[in-house]
Amino acid sequence: MEGKEENKRQTPEETEGAHTGDGRSQLPDLERQLYARQESSTMRQREDQLKQLGIRRTKVLSTDENAPSAPVTFKSMAEGRAKKRRQVIVAVVSVLLLVVLFAVALAGTLWYRARHNVTADQIGIAIEAPSALAAGDEIKYVVDFANNSLEHWQNVVLIFDQPVGFTLSDSSLPLDESGQERVLTVGELKSGEERKLEITGYLLGEINTAAVARAEITITPENFPSGRFAKAALATTNISTVPLDLAADVPNEARQGERVPIKITVTNTSTNKISGAYLKLQVPPGAQLALQDPQFSADFSVPESLWRLEDLEPLDVATREAVVFVEGRSGDKREIRVETGIKQGDQVFVQRTLAGVVSIASSTLSIDQYYNNTNELLTVKPEDKVKGVIKYVNTGTVALTDVVVRAKFEGQGLDPASLQLSSGAYDPTTKTITWTAASMPELAAVQPNQAGEISYQFDIQGVDVLAAGEESRTSNALIITASVDSPSLTVTAGETPKEISDRAVLSVATALTIQADAFYDDGRLGITSTGPTPPKVGEETTYTVRLRLGSTLNDAGDVRVSAVLPDGVRYTGKVVKTTGEVEYNDRTGELIWRLPQLAGLAGSRQPAAELYWQVAVVPGENQRGSVIEFLNRLTAMGTDLFTNSDLETEVTSFPSTESAVPGEGKVE
């Protein structure tokens, strides 16, 4: 305090110096001493050091100029920073705790949901089956399915998609059939519950093929009623062997036009009865089936080229015989193929195939036939005229004497009364024309490389003759076998002389027939007509139109009848039919009647296919006094299943209001 008082007091000399010129430089110091507290350099250095240490001082200011200087206090900066760090740490730790708590809660939720939600791993399904099997043997499928989740399931359905060729014989649980699928309605399946389904049947297939069975289960969890989940399993069985054995006896050699007999056997080598077996025979171009030959086994289906075999018991043998004529040059080969298999519905399972090759041997005499300028298979129609030419050639080096040429007719189609012969004679008993040197002197001696021709002509019988009588059939064909012979022909020692022949087949095609009429229906067909007759202007009258479709001879396939209604005639949609399907295009007025197959002789010896449908007319003033026709075009098309030729017929006379109700057809 004493020091401070001394600082405030000044000597007279100091005061006097402050007012002198020499002491002017001391005035600022005096003023600072009087009006402000000055700090020494030592204090400033000390304050700087305190700041470096994180300590600062504070000064409390006073508004009283005479008040003593306020005390100086110091605050630790390090402590403040430490406090802030503690606050930050507390905040970070709090956030981390919240994050951890959220993560734990989320993990718990996900764990719970994972335990109670259905996943693919929790849907248990497996199918067991033999890895290999002989075709036609019994097979057993075992389907295991289980609920491996924590939730009960509802609306559980198991679908067994059976392999192609499988026939069900037994099931441990009741199944519903839906095409190739077998459906088991399980209903509820509790958590942890396991079930089993056993399916037994017979499996057909082709050798070295795989039969795949598929089982699928679909479920709905109780805790997710709108959800639908599914899982599937597969089982594959290889067809290692087949139950049918096949053998064919096919000659290795034949001369041009020679009759070639073939014997085929099918054996059931399994211990099970086999149904639906077939035997197929295919010949190449240059070979023809002699269907009319007495040795040819009956019930051969020409469109399918096969025999359908009766049920084969274990070790049963089915035998079929065929006759083939081969044509071609010496050295040509003709491959005859045979096949056996099993048909199950629309499925065909080939079991065995064989091929026999017939080589055409050389001959010193050849013969060929041409009908209507072709030596290929010929399709003819009833009442067609046929021009025939038989050509023969001596291809040897020695003259042939006393040559005889014959043409033998078999099957249906020849009209004997129409035969026109310039030479030779027809024997009605054997149905054979014979030419000798008696009527053709050139046959007395045929020199090497000499050729000759024989011409004649005949007509095909009419439909009435072909379709009438006990001999009528739905596969009419005329077979003509021309042969040539001479005593000068030589054969190898020990060889039986063989006839040199050529075979021609003239297939008689069918024709589609269609009749159209109309009537005012009294309701006996279930299509009752209404409205006035005669029809009146502005009033609706309905009629029934009837179509009758037939085939004159053979079966017809893919038949399509098109009937077009003119403007002003309306199809009501009422229809009655005996077969087929009907569709109508209201924009074109075309009614289509489709028949997959039409039986041969339908409309004559068999009932015709019939279609009835209703039409309606509302005449206008311009039609008063006129007759209204119900059609303006009517056609029928199809395929002859015997000749494989296209068929088409058209009707040009149409039913009308007058033909429906005679005398009451003109509009009033």
pLDDT at residue 468 in the model? 76
Q: List, for residues 199-234, the tens digit of each pLDDT value.
A: 999 999 999 999 999 999 999 998 888 889 999 999
Q: Which residue has the higher pLDDT, 413 or 110?
A: 413
Whether residue 623 has pLDDT greater than 50: yes
Give the DSSP H or E segment for 259: strand 259-268
Give the residues across from 274 on adjacent strands.
312
Q: What dotted CATH number matches 365-508?
A: 2.60.40.740
Lookup: tokens for 379: 């399709």
Q: Give the three-state DSSP class for 479.
A: strand
Q: How far apart are CA 299 and CA 277, in angstroms?
A: 14
Q: List, for residues 431-459, the tens digit of each pLDDT value.
A: 999 999 999 999 999 999 899 999 999 99
Looking at the chain, the domain(s) classified CATH 2.60.40.10 span 247-359
Whether residue 6 has pLDDT greater than 70: no
Query: Would you place residue 345 in the very low, low, confident or very high pLDDT band (cuts 50, 70, 90)?
Result: confident
Q: How far apart are CA 520 and CA 662, in angstroms?
A: 10
Q: How far apart are CA 507 and CA 386, in angstroms?
A: 12
Our CA angle for 618, 622, 628, nearest 5°, is 50
Q: How far apart are CA 66 and CA 205, in angstroms?
A: 124
Query: Would you place residue 3 in the very low, low, confident or very high pLDDT band (cuts 50, 70, 90)?
Result: very low
Q: What is the DSSP letter of 312?
A: B
For residue 466, the one-letter residue type is: L
Query: Would you place residue 113 in the very low, low, confident or very high pLDDT band (cuts 50, 70, 90)?
Result: low
Q: How many CB atoms lie within 10 A of CB 128?
A: 13
Q: How far apart are CA 54 and CA 513, in angstroms?
A: 122
pLDDT at residue 92 in the model? 86
Q: Which is the CATH superfamily of the domain at 512-660?
A: Mu homology domain, subdomain B (2.60.40.1170)
pLDDT at residue 142 in the model? 97
Q: How many CB atoms lie within 10 A of CB 44?
A: 10
pLDDT at residue 68 in the model? 55
SS (H, E, C) 405-417: EEEEEEECCEEEE
Whether residue 382 has pLDDT greater than 60: yes
pLDDT at residue 131 in the model? 94
Query: Would you place residue 490 in the very low, low, confident or very high pLDDT band (cuts 50, 70, 90)?
Result: low
Task: Report which listed range, 292-296, 373-377, 551-555, is most confident.
Answer: 551-555
Q: How far apart are CA 307 and CA 264, in angstroms?
A: 11
Distances (CA, A) of 114 to 149, 224, 528, 627: 10, 13, 68, 81
**Whether the Cβ atoms of residue 260 and residue 283 lie closer than 8 Å to each other:** no
Lookup: tokens for 532: 């006035």
Sheet holding 306-308, edge to edge: 253-255, 347-361, 333-344, 277-282, 306-308, 300-301
Q: What is the DSSP letter of 483?
A: E
Q: Give the three-state DSSP class for 622.
A: helix
Give the residues across from 355 on adjacent strands.
337
Distances (CA, A) of 186 to 50, 150, 183, 190, 225: 89, 18, 9, 11, 17
The residue written with tokens 């209604």 in the block is 565
Lookup: tokens for 440: 């053709």
Lookup: tokens for 430: 């054997």
Q: How far apart are CA 667 and CA 533, in angstroms?
A: 9
Query: Would you place residue 82 in the very low, low, confident or very high pLDDT band (cuts 50, 70, 90)?
Result: confident
Q: What is the mean pLDDT of residues 16-21?
A: 45
Give the residues across from 460 on adjacent strands.
414
Looking at the chain, the domain(s) classified CATH 2.60.40.1170 span 512-660
Domain 247-359 belongs to what topology?
A: Immunoglobulin-like (2.60.40)
Q: How far apart are CA 475 and CA 525, in angstroms?
A: 35
| Residues recorded for the chain | 668
pLDDT at residue 551 in the model? 93
pLDDT at residue 497 in the model? 56
162-166, 269-273, 488-492, 507-511: segment of lowest average pLDDT: 488-492
pLDDT at residue 331 in the model? 83
Q: Would you say the pTM of this structure is higher than 0.85?
A: no
Lookup: tokens for 493: 């020692």
Q: To the nearest whole number, what is the mean pLDDT of the chain?
A: 86
Q: How far apart are CA 168 and CA 163, in angstroms?
A: 11
pLDDT at residue 288 in the model? 85
Looking at the chain, the domain(s) classified CATH 2.60.40.740 span 365-508
**Whether the Cβ atoms of residue 81 and residue 54 lie closer than 8 Å to each other:** yes
pLDDT at residue 87 in the model? 82
Looking at the chain, the domain(s) classified CATH 2.60.40.1530 span 120-241
Q: What is the mean pLDDT of residues 360-378?
A: 86
Q: Which residue has the higher pLDDT, 291 or 315?
A: 315
pLDDT at residue 93 in the model? 86
For the chain, the straight-line distance linking the first and the last C-alpha, in angstroms and rounded, comes to: 150
Pick the CATH number of 120-241 from 2.60.40.1530, 3.40.50.740, 3.90.1150.10, 1.10.340.30: 2.60.40.1530
Whether residue 566 has pLDDT greater than 80: yes
